[in-house]
């Protein structure tokens, strides 16, 4: 896969997800919750692949009332794939469609765009996350969405699923699988541990496969600070 194509078609990696209470941070599969109005956070992480590819992300977010509570997130992402660098920047909004529905389920919607400043390309996406709370310490997340890729003027369906288990105080095990239609390197996957020493801080250490590009294993370290 050419470098430019890998960057754009995989741009939803680390960009669709950005929420406070679950997944979020370096994880791709999103949950369906947002924080309270007036709460903000900054998420940062670095992902390094066995083939030398690289993703760095910094993204601040705040929840404001825009008719309904909306979480607005901006991002800056330096990315290297196949020895080619690109700088991505974007913005997205997330709001809840259904709260406390049947089977303890919540549904949200995310709309956003990501611009490749290096090559002048962009991707626009919509994602609908569903969260089912099985127990207080165990949650399932399912994502379905659409991605518009301007590199080759195509549309893709995006998908993902994850499990979150708070197996002991301050510790969460998170596993996920995700991908998009029309990409021969699917599915992609990650699994990791999250340590939350306080309600304001998350620390993540994750192992992944094929986050962007192909045939590579990834190690990710991340931190989220809320205020």
Rg (C-alpha) for the chain, rounded Å, is 16
Compute the distance between CA of residue 75 and CA of residue 151 in angstroms, rounded to an integer: 20
Winning range, highest mean pLDDT, from 10-14, 79-83, 167-171: 167-171
Give the tens place of pLDDT for each residue, 32-71.
999 999 999 999 999 999 999 899 999 999 999 999 999 9
Q: Which CATH architecture describes the domain 3-222? A: Beta Barrel (2.40)
- In this prediction the pTM is 0.88
Compute the distance between CA of residue 177 and CA of residue 210 in angstroms, rounded to an integer: 11
Task: State percent of the chain over pLDDT 70.
Answer: 87
Compute the distance between CA of residue 161 and CA of residue 155 in angstroms, rounded to an integer: 21
Q: What are phi and psi of 202, to 5 degrees?
A: -120, 140
Closest CA to 147 of 1, 13, 12, 25: 12
Strands (E), the chain: 40-49, 54-66, 68-81, 84-101, 105-116, 121-135, 138-149, 154-168, 171-180, 188-198, 201-209, 217-226
Compute the distance between CA of residue 42 and CA of residue 227 in angstroms, rounded to an integer: 9
Least confident of 19-28, 161-170, 195-204: 19-28
């Amino acid at each position: 896969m050419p470098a430019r194509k890998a960057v754009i078609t995989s741009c939803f990696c680390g960009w669709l997800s950005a929420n406070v209470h679950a997944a979020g941070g370096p994880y791709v599969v999103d949950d369906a919750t947002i924080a309270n109005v007036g709460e903000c956070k900054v998420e940062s992480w670095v992902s390094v692949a066995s083939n030398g590819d690289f993703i760095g992300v910094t993204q601040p977010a705040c929840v404001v009332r825009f008719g309904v509570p909306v979480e607005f997130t901006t991002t800056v992402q330096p990315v290297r794939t196949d020895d080619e660098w690109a700088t991505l920047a974007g913005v997205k909004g997330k709001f809840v469609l259904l709260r406390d529905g049947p089977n303890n389920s919540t549904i949200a919607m995310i709309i956003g765009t990501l611009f490749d400043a290096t090559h002048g390309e962009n991707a626009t996406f919509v994602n609908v996350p569903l969260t089912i709370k099985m127990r207080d310490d165990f949650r399932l997340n399912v994502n379905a969405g659409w991605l518009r890729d301007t590199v080759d003027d195509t549309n893709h369906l995006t998908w993902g699923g994850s499990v979150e288990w708070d197996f002991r105080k301050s510790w969460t095990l998170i596993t996920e699988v995700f991908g998009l239609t029309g990409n021969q390197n699917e599915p992609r996957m990650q699994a990791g541990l999250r340590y939350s020493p306080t309600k304001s801080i998350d620390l993540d250490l994750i192992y992944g496969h094929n986050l962007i590009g192909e045939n590579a294993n990834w190690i990710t370290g991340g931190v989220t600070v809320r205020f």
